[in-house]
Amino acid sequence: MAVAFVLFVIVKILPSYKSPPSHTTGKIQLDESVSSDYAFRNDGKAWIVGVGNETLSVLEIEIASTVLEIDKGLMYRKSMNMNNGMLFVFRTVELQSFWMKNTYIPLDIIFTDAAGVITQIHENTVPKSVKPITANQPIKYVLEVNSGFVAKNGIQLGSKLTFEKK
- C-alpha separations of 93 from 29, 96, 113, 114, 115 in Å: 25, 9, 7, 7, 11
Number of domains, the chain: 1
C-alpha to C-alpha distances, 12 to 4, 5, 9, 27, 46, nearest whole angstrom: 12, 10, 5, 18, 43
Res 24: pLDDT: 43
The whole-number pLDDT of residue 37 equals: 55
Per-residue pLDDT in tens (0 to 9) along the chain, 166 residues: 443 433 333 334 333 333 334 444 443 344 444 345 578 999 999 999 999 999 999 999 999 999 999 999 999 999 999 999 999 999 999 999 999 999 999 999 999 999 999 999 999 999 999 999 999 999 999 999 999 999 999 999 999 999 999 9
We report the CATH number of the domain holding residue 64 as: 2.60.120.1140
Range of the domain at 16: 2-165
Which pLDDT does position 15 carry in this prediction?
A: 38
pLDDT for 120 equals 97
Rounded to 5°, angle at Cα 58 from 40 and 35: 15
